[in-house]
Structure 1
Amino acid sequence: MHYNQVVSALFLCLSIGTMATAQTITSKVVDKKTNEPIPYATIQLSENQGVITNEEGRFSLNLNGDLAKIDSIYISSMGYEKVGVSVKNVTDSIIYIQPKAIELKGVFISNKNLTVDEIIDNVKERVDQNYNFGLSKRRLFFRESEFNTVKKFDVKFKKSTIKELNKKLIDSVTSILPKRAEYYTEILCDLYGNFDKRKLHIIKAAELYDKNNRVSMEAVAERMETIFKKNVKPNSYLKIKSGLFGTKVQVDSLLESREEASVVKDEIDNQKKKDDKSEFLKHRKSGLESLMSSLFFNEDVMSNFLNKSGRYNFELVDYTYIDDNSVYIINFSPKWRADFKGTLYVNTEDFAIVRADYENVKNLKSFKLLGVMFQDNLYRNKVIFSKGQNNKYDLKYLEMRRGNRFGFDRPLKVIEKNKHVKGRRKQNELSLALDVIMANVNKFEIVVFDSSPLSEADYKASTENKSIKPQYLSRYNPEFWKGYNIIEPNSAIKQFTVAPDTDTEAGQE
């Protein structure tokens, strides 16, 4: 075993405990009665700093710098007693917390006559005063997990007049195409601004994926290009037909494009390297902007249960506590022309939604025509807010899952024709039948560790590091984020590793 692998394995074993070197605490929060892990519990470090447990109830803290002075941490979760734990006394890998009994205090008595519709009206009226729309500096961790799955990939070989383009090649290409691909991106950053303008400064970033998938696709492309150049005449054109539809592509232009690309390849690669330095920041910033803009209190959002509340039925089902604050538990479901169902947790004093869990009940978009199918079929969201220094609520945690399915079941013909040769124009033909279904799911996680008000002058003085690039990881490395606070990865990420390289050259005989 390689030295680095030994170190990584040793670290994984040690991380099961809660106290480690360099003032690191790694632990799991568990319900004392049921022994079940508690996801999304808050681990408070100070008034406006903290982390959150992942979906498996796990968290990790690095008490470095100013945090080294902290002597206690506080664990709280909806419906549980808030627990203070001395850092020095944390010796177990599990922290148990006790469910909290509901006590009907004065606030419940004073508000008990409000109908659920009146509560929702209060929520809507107080959005501007409850949530932070001003300039802020947020230290946050942003993870995106992308999963692409080929559900079905049937290719029926019908006919080919090119010897190399035979059933064996088609089957070979089909066999090496990746049936499942995972891609993870993680950044620790400072986000400056508000909902109208933002700047992003990335502190550290990583990409975790399998490069072998890309190599396989490049091998296929090179093999097909070689066959194409060898068998197709330069002054031909290709007629590509799928069912009733067809299009023409001039072969000369394709070959010239390939030759020009070969001549200027180095120049393009050099330019691409320059562009890539800013593209990563651009894409991460765009992703954060999209997620922030999707929050339910914004206008014209897809999750419209608040700004178009008339389309939903609301039901007050219970009360509970989040930290030391009493909250209404309100379920909602579609009434008409609505897409979501879920649960809202509303502060009984200021009527702020402090947590919302919701998901779609039907396809948000659906299209099927002439053998082509698309479904926007997954929108599942969880958002948690906490009150900040300016007595306004700020995003504490967001977890969103978005998914779709795409497919086509159609015949495909590629016909080479040439009007400059004697005899018939038709030179070669490849005929296939394709039946493909692909599924894509993106999971986004944002945890905000610290949020503080920002002046206009400080916003203007803030900078973006456009040259930042992520570090490529072929397997989960627990050492990568050592010294930084993040949301703990789940088991799937921890177990991700790239398989050893294999011979994936297409069309070998």
Structure 2
Amino acid sequence: MRTIFIITFFTLLNFQFGIAQNIKGKIIDSATGESIPYANIKVGESENLVSNAEGYFTLSENNSRDEVELAVSYLGFVQRLLTVGELKRLNYRIELAPGVFQLNDVKVSNEKPNPYEIMANVKANLARNYKNETAASKDLLFYRKSDYFKPKLIEVEIDKSTGFTKQALQKANSDLKRFSTQLISNPPMEFTDILCNYYSTKTKKNDKFQLSSKMEVLKATKLKNEGRSSSLEELQKAAMNTMLQHLDSTKYYRFKSGLFGSRDTISLRKDFNRNRNKDKTKEKTNQLLSTKSSLNSFLSDSNFLESNELDFINNTELYDYKYEGATYTNDNEFAYVLSFKPRRSKAKYLGKLYISETDYAVLRTDYTLEEGEKLNNFNMKFLLGIKTSQNISKGTITYKKKSEDDTYYMQYAAIEQGQYFYLNRPLKFIELTSSEKDVLSLDLKMEVNVSSKTEFLNMSRSKTTAAAIEKIKEADFKFTNIKSYDPKIWKDYNAIEPLQEMKQFKSIN
């Protein structure tokens, strides 16, 4: 009897454990054993998932039953259909077989397609395939932003002070050194996750269609070190406050760098900062408007029809294209596979395109800056002590056909951008009096890399009406600040599985 009781207990325990936990799987290449990033996982009939950069994905609790069906696909590989029960028996690993081949291998054509003719057709059909629809839609979106501040060098030293004692000067330099050392040894990073319903439609005004959108935030979290930020603006404020603590808190100052002076007045006076905060509060947009504006810009910049950055689609004369073969799409149609690289100096990117044979829509692109290439380069290092350039620009974007009108919408995007900054300049803090006088002067030298990665997933899409959108009342929201990643927060949703760096991050006060 005791043995039966123990077996029954553990059976029930395992059953409870099985239905209470999110299921995590990994997608790999059957030929190489390597993980497959950004593969599409259709869950049941409505929701979509994408594997992360390490090939992992997580099913929500609601979709962890054995009978739930999964359709796993990735352009260039053969689609695989299975159930959650089969996933468990496969030890949570799904192998996809490569599926790129020459068209003549399947007797579609005996003539090798011309990649430049394919790209000419892509351009000719951009407006049709990616037009901004007027129909109203409701999209369940997941949006993740990861920000990194990676300093190589930060040196700040006050070399001259008027009216400061020697001890005060030493204390100021000590505080600045501690501030810079902390940044280098523990570089700040920040992870923001947002799940929302996004409603959009086009309304005609003055013979022009304008986007009208509304956002309903369902969950929003922010993971970062408390009191720290990964943005240059926030870090500049922190450094400025460190220096201001050693100035007279009852006076007003401005700062000057070489020939360049600031018109901004700075001070630690309570009445001064209280008034400034009031002004900022009046001007400050709420979190919802700021987030929606950022999302709208991201959608526009990632649209093949509207983007100015993705010139390998719009300015084909700048690039060399090569036909690599063909593959099946999820709809059992063919897609051409083209690689591209710069032909002229204005071209910056290399990568790969997957293009529908039926309507010449770009179904997917993987792109990155060619080695050594930079964008928006500004180099006045020897004259002004300033150098900056965008040294990272890469991404993966996938588009999916709409069922209602055969145009395309962005289903997934992973965009990474990075900026390099070098600054080596003298700074002065000047007291504002009837006769200006130097308060302190210092030397600032810094070399940093700032980068961000944005991931976007359209989890489900449905029709609605402009009238229904008009009735929706938007509400502002606040981020839930968390000190470490907790998968329980997203147990009811198919959010994008985070990378190990996010899972291992723990907030340090």
TM-score by structure 1 length?
0.81
RMSD: 3.4
- Which residue, out of 221, 233, 248, partners 1:206? 221
Q: Which sections of structure 2, spanning at least 5 residues, go unmatched? A: 1-12, 203-210
Q: Which residue is 1:380 aligned to? A: 394
- 8 Å CA contact 1:44, 1:73 repeated in 2: yes
- Report the alpha carbon displacement of residue 345 of structure 1 after superposing the two structures with TM: 0.7
**2:96 — aligned with what?**
97
Instruction: Check the 8 A contact 1:405/1:438 in 2, yes or no.
Output: yes
Structure 1 position 56, deviation (Å): 0.7
1:243-300 per-position Cα deviation (integer Å, ceiling 9, x unaligned): 3445688xxx756x834246669x949x95x988x62212221221111111252236
User: 298-307 vs 284-293, which deviates more?
Assistant: 298-307
Q: Which runs of 5+ in 1 are unaligned?
A: 1-13, 502-509
Aligned residue in 2 for 1:458? 468
Output the CA distance in 2 between the equivalents of 1:120 and 1:416.
62
Moved more, 217-226 or 205-214: 217-226
CA shift, 1:173, in A, is 2.0
Instruction: Quote the residue 2:123 is aligned against.
Output: 124
AA aligned to 1:398 is A
Q: Write the distance in 1 (CA, Å) between the matches of 2:28 and 2:471.
A: 44
* Change in CA separation of 1:486 and 1:112 when aligned onto 2, cut-off 3 Å: farther
Return 286-295 or 408-417, whichever deviates more.
408-417
2:52/2:498 contact within 8 Å kept: yes
Residue aligning to 1:149? 150
CA 1:54–1:116: 2 relative to 1, 3 Å: same
CA shift in 2, pair 1:165/1:44, >3 Å? same
Amino acid at match of 2:224: Y
User: Which range moved further: 387-396 or 240-249?
Assistant: 240-249
Q: Which residue of 2 aligns with 1:393?
A: 408
The question of whether the paired residues in 1 share the 8 Å contact of 2:422 and 2:447 is answered with yes
Partner Cα separation in structure 2 for residue 76 and residue 381 of structure 1: 19
Return the letter of the residue paired with 1:93: Y
Q: Is the 2:312–2:349 Cα contact (8 Å) retained in structure 1?
A: yes
Query: Structure 1 residues 31 and 166 mapped into 2: Cα distance closer, same or farther (>3 Å)?
Result: same
Once the two structures are TM-superposed, the CA of residue 168 in structure 1 deviates from its matched residue by 4.1
Partner of residue 5, structure 2: none
Aligned residue for 1:166, secondary structure, equals helix
C-alpha distance in 2 between matches for 1:297 and 1:56: 26
Aligned residue runs from structure 1 range 306-345, under 5 A: 306-323=313-330, 324-336=332-344, 337-345=346-354
| Aligned-pair identity (%) | 29
Matched residue, 1:8: none
Distance 2:413 2:352 in 1: 15
Instruction: Please name the residue that 2:39 is paired with.
Output: 41
Secondary structure of 1:55 counterpart: coil
Q: CA deviation at 1:144?
A: 0.4
Aligned residue number for residue 429 of structure 2: 414
Aligned residues: 465
Q: Which moved more, 1:219-228 or 1:114-123?
A: 219-228
SS at match of 1:354: strand
1:78–1:495 Cα change, 3 Å: same
- Mark the CA change 1:261 to 1:418 in structure 2 (over 3 Å): closer, same or farther: closer
Offset at residue 489 of structure 1 (A): 0.5
Taking a change above 3 Å as real, the CA distance of residues 220 and 330 of structure 1, as seen in their structure-2 partners, is closer
Shift of 1:340: 2.3
Question: What is the letter of the counterpart of residue 335 of structure 1?
Answer: R
Change (3 A) 1:436 1:321: same
More deviation, 206-215/196-205: 206-215
Displacement of 1:429 after TM fit?
4.2
1:133-212 map, 5 Å: 133-134=132-133, 135=135, 136-161=137-162, 162-163=164-165, 164-177=167-180, 178-179=183-184, 180-193=187-200, 196-212=211-227
Greater CA drift, 131-140 or 379-388: 131-140
C-alpha displacement at 1:325, in angstroms? 3.2
What is the CA distance between 1:51 and its match in structure 2?
A: 0.7
1:474, 1:261 → 2: CA distance?
33
Query: Quick check: 1:72 aligned with 2:69?
Result: yes
Query: What code does the residue aligned with 1:359 have?
Result: T
Deviation at residue 216 of structure 1 after TM alignment? 9.9
What is the aligned partner in structure 1 of residue 207 from structure 2? none
Cα deviation, 1:385-409, whole Å, max 9, x if unaligned, reads 2223223322111010111122211
- The structural deviation recorded for 1:481 is 0.8
Q: Following the alignment from structure 1 to structure 2, what is the Cα–Cα distance between the partners of residues 295 and 247?
A: 36
Secondary structure of the residue aligned to 2:108 is: helix
Given candidates 85, 92, 96, the residue that maps to 2:82 is 85
Q: Secondary structure at the match of 1:227?
A: coil
Q: 1:223 to 1:374 in 2, by over 3 A?
A: closer
Distance 1:484 1:114 in 2: 43
Task: Give CA-to-partner distance per residue, 1:309-368, whole Å, 9 cap, x none.
Answer: 222222212223343332211122223322322211112222111101112332221112
For residues 432 and 78 of structure 2, the distance between their equivalents in structure 1, rounded to whole angstroms, comes to 76
Structure 2 distance, partners of 1:469, 1:344, is: 39
2:51 matched residue in structure 1? 53
How far is the alpha carbon of 1:154 from its aligned partner?
1.5
Q: 2:25 matched to 1:27?
A: yes
Distance in structure 1 (CA, Å) of the matches to 2:429 and 2:318: 50
Matches of 1:387 and 1:291, distance apart in 2: 19
Answering whether residue 269 of structure 2 is matched by residue 258 of structure 1, we say yes
Evaluate the alpha carbon distance shift between residue 397 and residue 260 of structure 1 in structure 2; reply closer, same or farther with a 3 A threshold. Answer: same
Relative to structure 1, the CA distance from residue 416 to residue 137 in structure 2 (aligned partners, 3 Å threshold; closer, same or farther) is closer
Alpha-carbon contact 1:145-1:184 (below 8 Å) kept: yes
Is the contact between residue 117 and residue 314 of structure 1 (CA under 8 Å) also seen in structure 2? yes
Report the Cα distance in structure 1 between the residues aligned to 2:195 and 2:126, rounded to whole angstroms.
29
1:140-182 deviations in Å (ceiling 9; x for gaps)? 1000001012221112442224125414422322322423111
Which secondary structure state, in structure 2, belongs to the residue aligned with residue 283 of structure 1? helix
What amino acid sits opposite 1:33 in the alignment? A
Q: Is the 8 A contact 2:58 2:497 kept in 1?
A: yes
In structure 1, distance between residues paired with 2:60 and 2:300: 31
Give the deviation of 1:304 after TM superposition: 2.0
Report how far residue 122 of structure 1 moved.
1.4
Q: Distance in 1 between matches of 2:434 and 2:449?
A: 42
Tell me how far apart the structure 1 counterparts of residues 246 and 474 of structure 2 sit (CA, whole Å).
47
Q: Residues 75 and 254 from structure 1, CA distance in 2 versus in 1: closer, same or farther, beyond 3 angstroms?
A: closer
SS of residue in 1 equivalent to 2:31:
coil
Q: Is the 8 A contact 2:201 2:466 kept in 1?
A: no
Contact 1:238 1:248 in 2 (8 A): no
Say if 1:86 and 1:184 are closer, same or farther in 2 by CA, change over 3 A: same
Give the SS at the match of 2:312: coil
Task: For residue 373 of structure 1, report the CA deviation from its aligned partner.
Answer: 1.8
Report the equivalent of 2:457: 447
Matched, 1:279 2:296: no
Distance 1:119 1:47, change over 3 A: farther
Paired residue secondary structure (1:286): helix
Partner of 1:498: 507
Return the offset for 1:436. 1.2
Match of 1:229 among 231, 248, 251: 248
Q: Conserved in 1, the CA contact under 8 Å of 2:395 and 2:413?
A: yes
Q: 1:400 to 1:216 in 2, by over 3 A?
A: closer
Counterpart for residue 6 of structure 1: none
Give the secondary-structure state (helix, strand or coil) at the position aligned to 2:441. strand
Q: Deviations over 1:392-444 (max 9, x none)?
A: 32211101011112221112233558667xxxx85x64232211122210100
